[in-house]
Amino acid sequence: MASKEYEAVLKMLLEAVQTANGNRAKDPDEVPVGISNRHVHLSQADLEMLFGTGYQLTPIKDLSQPGQFACKETVTICGPKGAIEKIRVLGPVRSKSQIELLAGDGFKLGIKAPAKLSGDLAGTPGITIVGPKGSVQTAEGVIVAQRHIHMTPQDAQAYGVHDGQIVKISVDGPRGGIYGNVAIRVTDTSALDCHIDTEEANAMGVGSSTKVKIIK
């Protein structure tokens, strides 16, 4: 085969592979899953109260959403009935501190945390956060994260959904089923990911390689 013919065939094969990969990435039957444990987001003011003046977070692992990371730092949270130690702090810092619990944590802490989207803190309870240098009593900020799917506007168009839409997700497998009240969250900087917590994942046998289906 002549050199030019070989290069033309190779180019066609590469284009075919790229097209196939792109189609799989936008396949409505395959939404990747990110599983979250309980964690804390801190404001800079609260971070300094807990760890010292001028303190900066120490990233140890990038998360699925661009610019977000798990930190070396951990804290203890205390409610009316009990405490939970070694809660991971996630970065970067935020304008307000937010504590994301598992539903079962409320029984140990004596707090009823509502299911809400990240950042929607109005009407949520507060809690005491304890660090190595001090403690903070928040006025609000304790939630159980509502199930949601991050995606870009291009993803939303491919999946036929829009920002703020509430959908269901279907999980295959021997313990699979359907979860409702899943919010679509669309931003230009999102990475495609369906976020559920460890309790929800364990209930349906969901792992890090599991894909879910959107039901509109």
Q: Does 22 have pLDDT greater than 70?
A: no
Average pLDDT over residues 146-175: 96
Per-chain mean pLDDT for the chain: 91
* Least confident interval from 28-37, 91-100, 201-210: 28-37
Average pLDDT over residues 32-51: 98
Full-model pTM:
0.84
Element (H, E) at 86: strand 83-94
Task: Please state, in angstroms and rounded to a whole number, the distance separating the CA atoms of residues 31 and 211.
Answer: 5
Per-residue pLDDT, 30: 86
Task: Please state, in angstroms and rounded to a whole number, the distance separating the CA atoms of residues 181 and 194.
Answer: 12
Q: Are strands 166-171 and 211-215 parallel, antiparallel or unpaired?
A: antiparallel
For the chain, the structural domain boundaries read 37-145
Per-residue pLDDT, 23: 43
* Least confident interval from 24-38, 61-75, 124-138: 24-38
Average pLDDT over residues 1-10: 52
Per-residue pLDDT, 28: 56
Per-residue pLDDT, 5: 60
Q: What is the pLDDT of residues 115-136, one digit of tens each?
A: 999 999 999 999 999 999 999 9
Question: How many CB atoms within 10 Å of residue 198?
Answer: 14
